[in-house]
Amino acid sequence: MRQAVLTCVTLLLLACGCTSVTAGTPSSPPVVQVSPAFDARRARTDRGLVIRSLGGTLDRVLVSVGGEQVPGRLDGSRTIWHSAWTLKPAAEYTVTATAQGARGPATVAMGRFRTRPVEHTFQVASTTPLPGETVGVGMPVIIDFDSPIADKAAVERTLEVKAERPVEGAWRWTSDTQVIYRTHRFWTPHQRVTVTAHLAGVRAGAGLYGATDSTFSFTVGRAQISVINTRTHQMRVRRDGAIVQRMAISAGMATTPEYTTTSGIHLTMDKGDPVRMISPGRVKGEPGYYDVMIDHAVRISNSGEYVHAKDNVWAQGRANVSHGCINARPDQAAWFYDGSLRGDPVTIIGTDRELEWSNGWGFWQLSWERWRQGSARPYVDPAGDRVP
């Protein structure tokens, strides 16, 4: 469709008996520039849509695709409008933009264009948390892609986290296919969080483009934070600031690094009742071999650490005798199991083996400064300043 430009000219009319009539000279109407241009059939997707007003300010911009409004932002001078995200491949966009001059005529530009199709695409393969899941206050957001990402900064720009009670956060790339979002401090409890990957049309590498947007929401539940002291053999559980449980525990015997419980901020990752536990690196008949079914087991790392039930009350509260796990009285372990959400912080102190940040969800082991260094984009603090 050809561009249609409607210009409204205001005429100054003076009427008075036999007095002569003089028409004021109107100023030139603003010029509206649209990129991609109207009638384009193979517009690029990765540069978004830009609308400029020359000689005036943009008064109103309406853009739609597939019957949905396209979000965008005006700059401070109100002369440039830019779509918030990249454009969908193989889609038709309809644009109406009104530019107002300082005085006199306005310009209304209306038209359409189509974006080019793409051959090689990528998309979100999986997310953590799951859509609709209720999680603990330490929960990270983990996004896995189905193809390696070369232009990580371009993809990271498309990732949006909206919380009902916003908190500062940053993304960190752990591989070419995985990026993780962690907040500066724990989430505020009792709120909903929505994560959107505006991937459609983003260029992630040579010939590789986002196929479609992806969005999901989860709920941050109550704030359950546990602290385990391996020297006093005690575990304390708080919910929303109040102590709700005290548990006598037994931790790793610490005769080897393998049997030493890791100290640091762990997160609950999953749970099972029962869980089969087999000694790593040992075969049946060797000293230290075990193959047992353990009840009410809540996993807190990838190195085999759980908080679980065990009927060895003689050691709990007195001695560390486990292979590295935290065990507690069966009824209390069942209580902890039933009340645990993924992402609940469990801080362990008192051992000389530190939890590595890459062991399970040990992300809180990194300082905020180190965490944000894993981002592909320059960090901007809440005050709007770029931080090296």
Q: Which two tokens stand for residue 109?
A: 């530009």
pLDDT tens for 69-126 read 999 999 999 999 999 999 999 999 999 999 998 877 899 999 999 999 999 999 999 9
Work out how many domains the chain is built from and give that number.
3
Q: Is the pLDDT of residue 275 over 80?
A: yes
Cis peptide bond upstream of 166, omega within 30: no
Residues 316 and 347 in one domain: yes
Q: Looking at the domain assignment, is residue 189 inside a domain?
A: yes
pLDDT tens for 7-36 read 333 322 222 333 333 444 557 899 999 999
Q: Looking at the domain assignment, is residue 370 inside a domain?
A: no
Residues 357 and 229 in one domain: yes
Residues 133 and 212 in one domain: yes
**Burial of 219 per CB tally in 10 Å (0-12, 13-18, 19+):** middle
Model confidence band, residue 289 (pLDDT cutoffs 50, 70, 90) = confident
Alpha carbons within 13 angstroms on the beta-carbon side of residue 317 total 8
Q: Looking at the domain assignment, is residue 376 inside a domain?
A: no
pLDDT tens for 133-171 read 999 999 999 999 999 999 999 999 999 999 999 999 999
- CATH label of the domain that carries residue 71: 2.60.40.3780
Residues 260 and 201 in one domain: no
Q: What is the mean pLDDT of residues 312-336?
A: 96
Q: Looking at the domain assignment, is residue 276 inside a domain?
A: yes
- CATH label of the domain that carries residue 280: 2.40.440.10
Residues 357 and 240 in one domain: yes
Residues 141 and 109 in one domain: no
Sheet holding 106-114, edge to edge: 4-8, 106-114, 92-100, 57-65, 68-69
Total count of residues recorded for the chain: 388
Q: Looking at the domain assignment, is residue 259 inside a domain?
A: yes
CB atoms within 10 A of CB 283: 7
Q: Is the pLDDT of residue 382 over 80?
A: no
Residues 55 and 128 in one domain: no
Q: Looking at the domain assignment, is residue 269 inside a domain?
A: yes
Provide the residue range defining the domain that includes 269: 224-362
- CATH label of the domain that carries residue 148: 2.60.40.3710
Given 114, 145, 176, which residue is the final one in a domain?
114
Q: Looking at the domain assignment, is residue 388 inside a domain?
A: no
CB 49 within 8 A of CB 83: yes
Cα dist. 262→64, 184, 185, 248 in Å?
54, 23, 22, 18
How much is the pTM? 0.87
Residues 348 and 247 in one domain: yes
Query: Residue 388's pLDDT is what?
Result: 55
Residues 85 and 100 in one domain: yes
By annotation, the residues acting in catalysis are 308, 325
Query: Residue 381's pLDDT is what?
Result: 64
CA-wise closest residue to 142 among 158, 125, 119, 166: 125
